[in-house]
């Protein structure tokens, strides 16, 4: 197999439990293609894996930032309560 189309790419992501929404996976596929919706050649597929990893890490980073904000608020509240 020297090429992979969008359907096969979606199946690959499902099989490997890529934790991204379908629209984000489609976006990664399209950005990896030279001509929009054409099948990916091996080099493009290889690049798409890097793009998938970047997107997964963006999601994880956003989740961590939210958790840090919650922790920061809790710390500030605890400090105010200790002073008051």
**What digits encode the pLDDT tens for the residues 68-78?**
999 999 999 99
What is the distance between the alpha carbons of residues 82 and 57, in angstroms, rounded to a whole number? 37
Instruction: Write out the H or E segment, with its range, that includes residue 3.
Output: strand 3-4
Long-range contacts of 42-45 (CB under 8 A, 24+ apart): 42/2, 42/3, 45/4, 45/9
Nearest CA to 42 among 77, 72, 1? 1
pTM of the prediction?
A: 0.76
**What digits encode the pLDDT tens for the residues 27-70?**
999 999 887 678 999 999 999 999 999 999 998 999 999 999 99
The predicted structure's pLDDT at residue 53: 96
Q: Which residue has the higher pLDDT, 83 or 64?
A: 64
């Amino acid at each position: 197999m020297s090429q992979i189309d969008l359907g096969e790419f979606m199946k690959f992501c499902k099989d490997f439990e890529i934790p991204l929404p379908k629209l984000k996976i489609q976006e990664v596929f399209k950005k990896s293609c030279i001509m929009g919706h054409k099948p990916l050649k091996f080099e493009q597929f290889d690049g798409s894996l890097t793009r998938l990893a970047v997107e997964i890490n963006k999601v994880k980073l956003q989740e961590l930032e939210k958790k840090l904000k919650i922790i920061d608020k809790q710390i500030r509240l605890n400090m105010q309560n200790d002073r008051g």
